[in-house]
Structure 1
Amino acid sequence: MPVQAATAPGSAAPTEQSFIDRTYSKVFWRLVPFLMLCYIVAYLDRVNVGFAKLQMSKELGFSETAYGLGAGIFFLGYFLFEVPSNIILHKVGARVWIARIMITWGLISGAFLFVNSETTFYAMRFLLGIAEAGFYPGVILYVTNWFPSHRRARVITVFMAAIPISGVFGNPLSGWIMDAFHEAHGLSGWQWMFLIEAVPAVLVGIAVLLYLDNRPSEAKWLDPAERQVLERDIAAEDRTKTDSPHSLATVFRNGRVWFMSLIYFLFVAGQYGLAFWVPTIVKASGIQGNFHIGLVSAIPFLVATVVMVGLGRSADHFRERRWHLIGPALIGAVGFVVSAASTDTVVAITALSVAAGGVLACSPLFWSLPTAFLSGAGAAAGIALINSVGNLAGFAGPYAIGALRDYTGSTAAGMYVLAITLVLGAACVFAVPPRLVNK
């Protein structure tokens, strides 16, 4: 079907607009569910250490601080290799590089069964961070090759719904593996969990090579007219990004990029503080048995899935970004405070679910901000820099909660700190000019 010449947003003829909508729907269903599967596997291998802690810390004699440091040290390796990884991805293409990332981290994750001391725990977490560096910002960059900014919030939020979905299914699965396989063939349940949950990463990594295309021009599953729609829209949007940094050097000198890094740091602190400590928090509320802890731990992530998808659709519909970020951040902060202060199990889990819905919705909605002004090579470096600096909070958050828990004997102080980071993040988003991001 021929496509008419480009028109101003909102002025396309009805027949052309219906064709454009069908084209983007086709691309969405071809790419996003598969990318979700990749991220479900990635996130499960990244945070299943939270469940391993329930057995591993006791068997190997880890303190709460040692566990928090090991959980967080992943992000030091991630930080150091994030920008180089995304630049390589920009040069060689997402298909090959994402496959390499997934296969490598799968092999390293499986090797966690050999952890036998704090030193080996730290080393393996650091190597896992190096292996996975570039995956998430690489996917964000990949999405910008297929969807313009006003369609991107829904895509990214559905993709990032993989985080709570991995909690919904992964937490009970991890608990069941640890109970069912404990001491089988001389291995502890946590060792079996690492080994079994590493296999999907390798298999999906191989599937990436067979399934993904780097950009619309390479997609044989698109008709020529469909490719024309995508390439026209992306090119038109790139022409509006006249103030985007165009090199690695200019990215590092760009104050706007660093401010975005600060916002993301504050939101990520809440995200990983939640992810790494939910099993411990649930156990402290009185729930017994790894499988039951897994089932209850899934509730906050189930709530977050619904909230994330709904807010992503709303942000695209209204073409509004700032308040769609500020609201969930403040609600998440309230959830953390109530959860920490409550002594009732039902109230604590309900509040934790509110916190999860708020904090996990922030990350996908956040990426509508920097991708609204970054393009080309500047986007590859800028997205990676923002993600790598932001994810240092994945080191600081779990470590701080672990240290506070050792010092106070409770997770409450850590939850209050996470609430404060979300409030600060909301304040920073409020300072972002609406004209910059509401497109």
Structure 2
Amino acid sequence: MVDDDVGRESDDASRERAADTDAVDAVTPSSYLLVVLGAGSYLLLMANWFALAAFLDPIADGLGLSDTQSGALVGAVPLTYVPLSLLSGLVLDRIGARRGIAISVGIFGVAQLLRSATGDFAGMLATTVLFAVGATGITFGLPKLVASIFPSRLLGTMSTVYILGSYAGTAAAYSVGRAILGPALGGWRPTFRALGAAALAFLAVWVPVALWHGRRHGTPYGGDGESAFSLASLRTDVARVFSHRVMRLLVVVGTAYLLLGHSLQGWLPTLAGSRGVSPEVAATVATLFVVGQAVGTVVVPPVSDRLGRRRDGVVACGLAAVAGVVALAFVGDAVGAGAAALVAGSGVGGVSPLVRAIPTEIEDIGPALTATAVSLIFAVGELGGFFGPFLVGGLRDLTGSFLPGLAVLAVGALAMVAAGLRLPEI
């Protein structure tokens, strides 16, 4: 009888502790709304970003650009991330995500308007670099926003929300910007103006909602600290992030992720075309890679949240990427290439939210240094994003085959697996 009473008391205590945890982890509906709006900022960013690639041919003709100059413009934004990312993250950790996102949208919206009016390569390059300044604030501000207003059990799921916004924006640049707005408005200049104006109009929604949410709910999980812009404070934050072993492993994962993502997205149509398929089928193969990314983004982070297994999620994504890249090296038909692209995309897409969510859960990093931590991953990782496509193309020039380049990508995917296996369960 005594044992039954003890058991009942133990059950009651467990239920009380669970209730207390649920109360602490309660999330207001407006926080979900804010992240959905944040996804809208990412959609607008990517629609404006990839409008350049979508209209590259008429822009090059209109401005008299060489192929080298066109390539420099396409690569200018990711390359700007390398020197700028860490500074952007440090600033965001001090001014807060809500304010940082607003400033960033304003910067890239104005930059897009300026790009619509440029008349030569120098002007387009300068305004594209300015655009990149705003882009970094969205890339690192959204992980910080989620870390500040959501408990760790929801970080992966909520990261999925804004990353899906980025995929929608990339698709919109081609399907809406190039295919609809371009013909309707009369070319790339008015389309750029319309996209830039849409970004600035978004601020009329974001600013009042973010201000209201900030006053009413603050940052329940931390993140908007009182760190000053002093050199000592900046140096301390950088040292904390750089010296952490888990962060070094995540830098490897992030570099592999960007290496694979940029390389496959850029070269898949050409790779598929080299197998003798039509341009339409080659475009479908490339589209299946994007579909795979969306599937991985939707599936992997929520499962990781539910199981509490971040490490297993990273390893599984790395293995999927390895399998997809190896299959691309050996399949000879469109169906096989499409299936391989789908598998590789699921690995790349699945790990994308994880590299943004995991830093928040690391001891000594947390919400307060989330932007700095994610910016470190991208500062180094974008080197992989830049050199990956370069190596695939360069090795093909040297050998006449995509196999050496795919071997490089497979090694990158294996590095993701190896780093993932060494991650502790957080």
Residues 273, 394 of structure 1: 8 Å contact kept: yes
Given residue 352 of structure 1, which amino acid in structure 2 is its aligned partner? A
- Report whether the alignment pairs 1:265 with 2:255: yes
- Report whether the alignment pairs 1:251 with 2:241: yes
Residues 75, 126 of structure 1: 8 Å contact kept: no
- Which of 265, 270, 278 is the matching residue for 1:286? 278
Residues 42, 166 of structure 2: 8 Å contact kept: yes
**Deviation at residue 320 of structure 1 after TM alignment:** 0.3
Residue of structure 1 equivalent to 2:334: 345
Query: What do residues 406-434 of structure 1 show as CA deviations (whole Å, max 9, x unaligned)?
Result: 55666665444333212211211112233
Structure 2 alignment gaps of length 5 or more: 1-12, 224-234
Residues 160, 364 of structure 1: 8 Å contact kept: yes
- Which of 288, 291, 301 is the matching residue for 1:302? 291
Given residue 51 of structure 1, which amino acid in structure 2 is its aligned partner? A
Given residue 416 of structure 2, which amino acid in structure 1 is its aligned partner? G
> Partners in 2 of 1:99 and 1:317 — Cα distance?
32
> Partners in 1 of 2:135 and 2:348 — Cα distance?
22
Residues 71, 398 of structure 1: 8 Å contact kept: no
Flag the 1:387–1:413 CA change in 2: closer, same or farther, 3 A.
same
Query: What do residues 269-303 of structure 1 show as CA deviations (whole Å, max 9, x unaligned)?
Result: 11222344456567774235xxx987775443234
Aligned-residue sequence identity (percent) comes to: 21
**Deviation at residue 197 of structure 1 after TM alignment:** 3.4
Residue of structure 2 equivalent to 1:100: 103
> Partners in 1 of 2:203 and 2:283 — Cα distance?
27
- Report whether the alignment pairs 1:396 with 2:387: yes
- Report whether the alignment pairs 1:428 with 2:426: no
Residues 77, 127 of structure 1: 8 Å contact kept: no
Residue of structure 2 equivalent to 1:163: 166
How high is the TM-score relative to the length of structure 2?
Answer: 0.78
> Partners in 1 of 2:170 and 2:401 — Cα distance?
23
- Report whether the alignment pairs 1:109 with 2:112: yes
Flag the 1:396–1:171 CA change in 2: closer, same or farther, 3 A.
same
Residues 168, 298 of structure 1: 8 Å contact kept: no
Flag the 1:293–1:38 CA change in 2: closer, same or farther, 3 A.
farther
Given residue 357 of structure 1, which amino acid in structure 2 is its aligned partner? S
- Which of 86, 89, 94 is the matching residue for 1:86? 89
Flag the 1:337–1:196 CA change in 2: closer, same or farther, 3 A.
farther
Given residue 202 of structure 1, which amino acid in structure 2 is its aligned partner? L
Richer in helix (by share): 2
Residue of structure 1 equivalent to 2:206: 208
Flag the 1:74–1:167 CA change in 2: closer, same or farther, 3 A.
closer
> Partners in 1 of 2:355 and 2:14 — Cα distance?
25
Residue of structure 2 equivalent to 1:371: 360
**Deviation at residue 152 of structure 1 after TM alignment:** 0.9
Flag the 1:419–1:52 CA change in 2: closer, same or farther, 3 A.
farther
> Partners in 2 of 1:56 and 1:337 — Cα distance?
36
> Partners in 2 of 1:293 and 1:178 — Cα distance?
25
**Deviation at residue 114 of structure 1 after TM alignment:** 5.4
**Deviation at residue 255 of structure 1 after TM alignment:** 4.5
Rg comparison, structure with higher value: 2
> Partners in 2 of 1:337 and 1:306 — Cα distance?
20
Residue of structure 1 equivalent to 2:409: 418
Given residue 266 of structure 1, which amino acid in structure 2 is its aligned partner? A
Q: How many residues align?
A: 398
- Which of 309, 312, 316 is the matching residue for 2:305? 316
**Deviation at residue 138 of structure 1 after TM alignment:** 1.7
Given residue 348 of structure 1, which amino acid in structure 2 is its aligned partner? A
> Partners in 2 of 1:40 and 1:61 — Cα distance?
28
Residue of structure 2 equivalent to 1:6: none
Q: How does 1:1-400 map to 2 (within 5 A)?
A: 12=16, 23-24=26-27, 26-53=29-56, 56=59, 60=64, 62-63=66-67, 67-113=70-116, 122-177=125-180, 180=183, 184=186, 187=187, 190-191=188-189, 193-213=191-211, 218-220=214-216, 231=220, 247-277=237-267, 285-288=277-280, 297-373=286-362, 374-375=365-366, 377-400=368-391
Residues 288, 342 of structure 2: 8 Å contact kept: yes
> Partners in 1 of 2:15 and 2:176 — Cα distance?
49
**Deviation at residue 379 of structure 1 after TM alignment:** 3.7
The CA RMSD measured in Å over matched residues stands at 3.7
> Partners in 2 of 1:413 and 1:82 — Cα distance?
31
Query: What do residues 104-158 of structure 1 show as CA deviations (whole Å, max 9, x unaligned)?
Result: 1122234444566665554444332223223211221222111222221111122
Given residue 209 of structure 1, which amino acid in structure 2 is its aligned partner? V
> Partners in 1 of 2:28 and 2:207 — Cα distance?
23
**Deviation at residue 41 of structure 1 after TM alignment:** 1.6
**Deviation at residue 312 of structure 1 after TM alignment:** 1.2
Given residue 363 of structure 1, which amino acid in structure 2 is its aligned partner? S
> Partners in 2 of 1:417 and 1:193 — Cα distance?
38
> Partners in 1 of 2:402 and 2:111 — Cα distance?
30
Flag the 1:96–1:203 CA change in 2: closer, same or farther, 3 A.
same
> Partners in 2 of 1:122 and 1:418 — Cα distance?
29
**Deviation at residue 384 of structure 1 after TM alignment:** 2.4
How high is the TM-score relative to the length of structure 1?
Answer: 0.76
Write out the 4+ residue segments of structure 1 that deviate beyond 6 Å after TM superposition.
292-296
SS at match of 1:197: helix
SS at match of 2:29: helix
> Partners in 2 of 1:296 and 1:144 — Cα distance?
35
Deviates more, 1:71-80 or 1:45-54: 45-54
